[in-house]
Structure 1
Amino acid sequence: MEIRYANSPAETKTFDTDRLRNEFLIEELFVPGQLNMVYSHVDRFITGGVIPTNEPIKLEADKHEMGADFFLERREIGIINVGPKGSVTVDGTVYELDTKECVYIGLGNQDVLFNSADPKNPARFYFNSTPAHKNYPTVKVTLADAETEHLGSINSSNERVIHRFIHLNGVQSCQLVMGMTLLKPGNMWNTMPCHTHNRRSEVYFYFDMPEDGLVFHFMGEPSETRHLVVRNEQAIISPSWSIHSGVGTNNYTFIWAMAGENQVFHDMDKVAPQDLK
């Protein structure tokens, strides 16, 4: 498990490209036959990816870093399959997940196994985990089950569909909020006009991009913006004080996860485009 520490706005504005990437960009989440995780001290997010091939892969705690006997001893988790069919087994109960389907698993569940339906064409499970204080039921969510909202327009190149999986009006959790945004063809901008939400941090995971595609992800204070070049299946850690917006070379999909003070999706501090620098 890789450890990332929190950074203040004052120090972040001094970072060069390499330092920005080392602190905020998660470049390699998916390796066949492995489970990779990054532990961020920004709201204590754990972000991970797993590709089970010939054998199931167990979600296990890093006892040194987490001080826990099993991963969900004091945590909850949201898992989304971004690849071919697979399954997540939770204490003996199997949840089949097709691409873009989600499962929430609450605090206290001990045995979590990732498996692929076809080892030669394996599933790709992306997840976010946050601390929890109460057990909520394990629930599978499909795109049809999610709360859906259509935003933006082709005129501003940000026509998109938001699918909310884990949120106040959907699957219940302690603090984790999680969903997926799909940009329609011909649209490249996400989260513009942008915002911050000082009561919550966020992690973005970009995927459904071609091999030569990329997203310019904008971060930083509104008056001190920076950018990071993000490629397919890479993630960005976004502190509460930072904007989180991006423009791609083509349309793409991204998974967003939030944690912090509250779970109110629209609790945000909007930033007018003319105020960005």
Structure 2
Amino acid sequence: MIQVRYSTSPSSVETATTAELRENYLVDDLFSTGEVRGVYTHEDRMLIGGAVPGHQQLGLPAWDVLGVSSHLQRRELGIINVAGPGHVLVDGEKFELGHLDGLYVGRGSKVTFAGADAAFYFVSAPAHATYPTTAVSRASVEPVPVGSAQGASERNLFRYAWGSDLQTSGLQFGVTVLADGAVWNTVPPHLHERRTEAYLYVDLAENERVFHFLGRPGATRHLLVANRQAVISPPWSIHTGAGTGSYAFVWAMAGENNDYTDLVPVPLEDL
């Protein structure tokens, strides 16, 4: 199953109803056992998806919207396992992924998902070159501490593919894990006008939620987001959020460049 989301303007957010905001920016049904589901957005031609193999193997589809016979014919791929142990086959080579472990897959490869307890989140984006498939376990990544306990924003940033070390055409992705008692992510908010970002919130309890803020500075709105739900954030939109309980999130970006530090902080007084 594939959905297509079209580009939107900043002004449309200011007058949108709650239902319209959710329809345009929230992805709430990516994970279903025995299926591969995806959402293709015209914002930087990103595609986000979920694969839950159950007791079978699932191939990465070449949906019609891509216009190719193989999903990665002109794309590169980032995968993160958001559940129990599983594995990914890339051109027949097996990569074991535990909880929040990642995998980068280069252009032109064939991908299959497997694992009865696994749930794979993936992001693909157009690629101009082919780079090697590389596994990135969370344990192998040195976390970057960000935020503070006093500001309820203490968290660890795990950069899997971010414009250094692991080379990609333009795809960036990683995981941020909040410390116990922290609620805020991405504080202060920021903008990166040349890149679209997608957030997938994970490891929330069933009755917990994240208030995710979007829109231009000075005219923000919010979405209420549950576990394993994603938000598409266009280049003109800020992104920040506060949760009612413990959580982590997978972030992924694509666009004109892959310089992770190419961002502009937005002072809170400007919101």
Q: Which bin holds the TM-score, normalised by the shorter protein? A: over 0.9
Question: For 1:213, which of 208, 229, 236 is the aligned residue?
Answer: 208
1:138 is aligned to 2:104 = no
The equivalent residue for 2:199 is 204
Give the number of equivalent residue pairs.
270
Query: In 2, Cα distance between the equivalents of 1:265 and 1:96?
Result: 27
Query: In 2, Cα distance between the equivalents of 1:221 and 1:167?
Result: 25
Instruction: State which drifts further: 220-229 or 162-171.
Output: 162-171
**How far is 1:12 from its partner?**
2.2
1:97 is aligned to 2:92 = no
1:254 is aligned to 2:249 = yes
Question: For 1:182, which of 158, 162, 177 is the aligned residue?
Answer: 177
SS at match of 1:221: coil
Within 5 A, what are the aligned runs for 1:31-110? Answer: 31-62=32-63, 64-109=64-109
Query: In 1, Cα distance between the equivalents of 2:47 and 2:236?
Result: 19
Letter of the 2:127 counterpart: A
Query: In 2, Cα distance between the equivalents of 1:149 and 1:243?
Result: 21
Letter of the 2:4 counterpart: I
**How far is 1:147 from its partner?**
4.3
**How far is 1:145 from its partner?**
2.4
The equivalent residue for 1:28 is 29
Letter of the 2:193 counterpart: N
Question: For 2:236, which of 229, 241, 258 is the aligned residue?
Answer: 241
The equivalent residue for 1:148 is 143
Instruction: State which drifts further: 207-216 or 8-17.
Output: 8-17
Query: In 2, Cα distance between the equivalents of 1:199 and 1:50?
Result: 28
Query: In 2, Cα distance between the equivalents of 1:102 and 1:193?
Result: 26
Query: In 1, Cα distance between the equivalents of 2:246 and 2:184?
Result: 8
Letter of the 1:132 counterpart: A
**How far is 1:251 from its partner?**
2.2
Q: Is the 8 A contact 2:13 2:221 kept in 1?
A: no
Q: Is the 8 A contact 1:87 1:115 kept in 2?
A: yes
Query: In 2, Cα distance between the equivalents of 1:146 and 1:231?
Result: 27
SS at match of 2:150: helix
Query: In 2, Cα distance between the equivalents of 1:201 and 1:146?
Result: 24
**How far is 1:128 from its partner?**
0.6
SS at match of 1:201: strand
Query: In 2, Cα distance between the equivalents of 1:81 and 1:196?
Result: 27
Query: In 1, Cα distance between the equivalents of 2:165 and 2:114?
Result: 26
1:222 is aligned to 2:223 = no
Q: Which runs of 5+ in 2 are unaligned?
A: none
The equivalent residue for 1:192 is 187
Cα displacement string for residues 233-275 of structure 1 (whole angstroms, at most 9, x for unaligned residues): 0000000010000000012100000111211112111111111
Q: Is the 8 A contact 1:20 1:228 kept in 2?
A: yes
Cα displacement string for residues 112-161 of structure 1 (whole angstroms, at most 9, x for unaligned residues): 11000xx3xx2000011100011000000011322421011110000000
The equivalent residue for 1:11 is 12
Q: Give the TM-score of the pair, scaled to structure 1.
A: 0.96
Instruction: State which drifts further: 261-270 or 203-212.
Output: 261-270
Q: Is the 8 A contact 1:105 1:137 kept in 2?
A: yes
Letter of the 2:216 counterpart: E
Q: Which runs of 5+ in 1 are unaligned?
A: none
Cα displacement string for residues 89-118 of structure 1 (whole angstroms, at most 9, x for unaligned residues): 011101011111111001011x211000xx
Query: In 2, Cα distance between the equivalents of 1:104 and 1:147?
Result: 17
Q: Give the TM-score of the pair, scaled to structure 2.
A: 0.98
Q: Is the 8 A contact 1:146 1:170 kept in 2?
A: no
Letter of the 2:8 counterpart: N
4+ runs deviating over 6 angstroms: none
